[in-house]
Chains A and B, each alone.
Chain A
């Protein structure tokens, strides 16, 4: 990290093991932590104003969500059985949104994911992080996208009040940003197919390919674009970089997501889901979807994701007897802080960051 050398404060994940106090007490880092607090407060103000009920996270259970991109789950002994630490609160979110009279719930949900070691290179993945995780009953993905964009606008507008302080953080980390965007609603929306088509057009430009190859150490990035799969990290970065306002990608192909993202009943193979991306290369802030809630569909989808239904007994029973349509999303708290503060890496948004493969405090 050249910026940190210039600033004579080592900020690599490993440096936290050397002298964590020196880092967390640094005036700029303290400011980052204060902004995390301000952002959290803005989120709570917004959601409380919308009639949401906040819950405390449920940390352990017999099963956690299936996870994606190869992350493993942490396990703990539990009175003769093996329980899992939650990789996300998705199953409990659906339960509580269906159960609560308000039909609107949220968590600040700590997630633990044993990510593959190559995720350490993205600057966007942490083993331990927090999601602002919400779920709404009788809603679909388009309805919760509207909540997501208003929530993000609210946070950005609130933070604009502190731009003088933010500028010092931006300057410290070598950011060229002058101000936060003046967010205009509705945000731009494109389908996964449209996004891939757009990127395929840009993939004809040799300069773009060369930059992706060297920046992300990938070979032939143009071959990694597919209508059937997630957008690869390097292309997501690129797509984000060519935008100056947050934007949505929706309608991902089935196979790219867990069993809980609902498939359009009339568009087989396409999911009723979305990602909310920050501009300037920061990339994905949030993922959300309308949920599969009919037990027969969930059962079949579990086979597709190679899940053992036996483990999900409580969840399948709940869906069979009380399942209701819900939709929701989770915003990565650290990614949101990274975006607002324009940090070079997401690990700087936490005081004791856990990076895949790094043994830090």
Chain B
């Protein structure tokens, strides 16, 4: 966790749009910000790709003619559509489940996402552990989180994505939502998607694993694998494992068909992980007509994963992005969402240039919310500071001392900083719409990545003009 850019996120949660500028020295940020050039790591990252603005910008000329003045970065439209949802920017809040921290601040993040018009996802096990409509613990229920989002949506932006795990199936969560009069209006307006969960970044091939309190353990022990029987062994927290779910090509195809058949009024999303057969997964899911596929690279976060899993299971995020680029080369048009340690506007613009439709943020939104905890309601603070790991975070948060606004404001500020960055960078590339971003806008600092994405290696001579022209013809 220590090498995650927490400080940078807290800074954004505090400063909002202003956060796109270099930090002020009085915060002592330079120490943490020094990694603009170096960062210790094992994998190639999206940071190994840079954006390549051109001198000649015919699209800026077009925009100028439209506006009858010189265009500014504020003239960039970050609005786009993801999986059939209209969004204010190509950002999705990654699915967070029923774990302690994610659930506690879930409604706050939901409100922030609704205000900023981005897609919000509800992960697995929320209803199973926290209750569907009535609270089974002191924490918010599934419906509280869902409605915190839906009731705050405005201007027709956004969409709610609902996952169901093997164990959630006991609850028949999707059927419950689909027949619930409180959701019917939103179903009718096309604001709901059901997401098949077939993987996650940090632990591809493993199921959900979390720690639960004894009270929860006793309640759910019939439905989950809990190695220590909470009736016989008394302790504060118990490991709770859930099954990863078995997939074959047929099973995946059938699950998609079944949702389309059983729930014709919702959109269908698929969440997959950094698997070696990712190309095939994208192929099948697109063929079956899913509305969007979220691909979580191995750097993707999670509540609790085995260390060996985080270290050694799965394809790095940029390699997953490679699968997205290949899919576009095969003319697959399905919305493809990438996630896994992506947290700023550059990441979004680069991902879009390489073929992604949007980027999913998980931890950034959690931290942005937590960065604002000094002024969060007392009950949230008390919960957070009970956990030693979170206490550590709390200290950083206090250093940033986001004042006066609370968690939702932190999320809104954070997203505003990203939105601002997306607009600035896109405008620098001489473009004004998200769907105009393309491979020509990026270059690799590394030959392997240049080869993977078939983009320019920045240290090699640019292609001969006739080759550029030839490529232009091929592209069009």
Contact = CB atoms under 8 A, between A and B. Distances in A.
Interface of A: 67-73, 81, 114-118, 228-230, 232, 253-256, 300-301, 303-308, 310-311, 356-357
B169 A308 contact: yes
Contact of A72 (B166, B178, B250, B288): B178
Contact of A255 (B169, B175, B254, B265): B254
B166 A308 contact: yes
A117 B179 contact: yes
Interface string B256-280: 1110111111000000000000000
B470 interface: no
B245 A73 contact: no
Nearest to B265: A118
Contact of B175 (A71, A232, A303, A310): A71
B241 to A, nearest CB: 14
13 contacts: A69-B262, A116-B265, A117-B179, A117-B184, A232-B264, A254-B257, A303-B251, A304-B255, A306-B164, A306-B169, A308-B167, A308-B170, A310-B170
B176 interface: yes
Contacts of A255: 253-254, 256-258, 261
- Give the most central of A72, A256, A357: most B CB within 10 Å: A72
Contact of B247 (A118, A253, A303): A303
Nearest to A69: B262
Contact of A307 (B167, B169, B188, B265): B169
A70 B263 contact: yes
Given A72-B176, A117-B181, A304 B262 contact: no
B246 interface: yes
Top 8 A-B residue pairs of the complex, sorted by shortest distance between their CB atoms:
A255-B257, A304-B254, A72-B175, A70-B178, A72-B179, A308-B169, A303-B251, A255-B254
A210 to B, nearest CB: 21
Contacts of B265: 116, 118
B38 interface: no
Contacts of A311: 170
B250 A304 contact: yes
B476 interface: no
A310 B169 CA distance: 11
A239 B256 CA distance: 26
B179 to A, nearest CB: 4
Contacts of B399: none
Contacts of B471: none
Nearest to A257: B261
B248 interface: yes
B154 interface: no
B261 A68 contact: yes
Contact of B179 (A68, A114, A230): A114
Contacts, number: 89
Dominant SS at the B interface?
helix
Nearest to A67: B175
A230 B254 CA distance: 13
A207 to B, nearest CB: 25
A357 B184 CA distance: 10
A246 to B, nearest CB: 24
Q: Is the interface of A mostly helix, strand, loop or mixed?
A: loop
A69 B266 CA distance: 12
Interface residues of B, number: 37
Interface string B221-254: 0110000000000000000000001111011011
Contacts of B222: 81
Given A114-B179, A117-B179, A356-B179, A305 B254 contact: yes
A269 B170 CA distance: 27
A357 B265 CA distance: 17
B170 A229 contact: no
Contact of B262 (A70, A114, A310): A70
A275 B364 CA distance: 51
A300 B253 contact: no
B181 A357 contact: yes
Contacts of B187: 116
A256 B261 contact: yes
Contacts of B172: 72-73
Contacts of A118: 184, 188, 265
A115 B250 contact: no
Contact of B260 (A67, A229, A303): A229
Contacts of B174: 70
Nearest to B266: A70
Contact of B178 (A116, A230, A256): A116
B171 to A, nearest CB: 9
**Most chain-A Cβ atoms within 10 A of its Cβ — which of B164, B181, B258?**
B258
A69 B261 contact: yes
B255 A306 contact: yes
Contacts of A303: 245-247, 251, 255
Contacts of A117: 179, 181, 184
B375 to A, nearest CB: 41
A306 B179 contact: no
A256 B257 contact: yes
Contacts of B262: 67-70
A67 B176 CA distance: 12
Interface in B163-203: 164, 166-167, 169-170, 172, 174-176, 178-179, 181, 184, 187-188, 196
Interface string B131-156: 00000000000000000000000000
A118 B266 CA distance: 13
A70 B442 CA distance: 45
B175 A300 contact: no
Contacts of B176: 72
Contact of A300 (B245, B251, B258): B251
B254 A254 contact: yes
Nearest to B174: A70
B261 A229 contact: yes
A71 B248 CA distance: 26
A115 B263 CA distance: 11
A115 B167 contact: no
B463 to A, nearest CB: 43
Nearest to A75: B172
Nearest to A307: B169
Contacts of B179: 70-72, 114-117, 356
Given A255-B253, A300-B251, A305 B178 contact: no
Among B166, B176, B264, chain A packs the most CB atoms within 10 A around the CB of: B264
Contacts of A71: 175, 179
A70 B192 CA distance: 14
B89 to A, nearest CB: 28
Interface centre among B178, B179, B264 (most CB of A within 10 A): B179
Nearest to A119: B179
Pick the most buried of A68, A232, A308: most chain B CB atoms within 10 A of its CB. A308
A217 B167 CA distance: 36
A305 B258 contact: yes
Contacts of A254: 254, 257
Contacts of B255: 303-306
A230 B263 CA distance: 12
A222 to B, nearest CB: 15
Contact of B258 (A72, A116, A306): A306
Interface string B51-95: 000000000000000000000000000000000000000000000
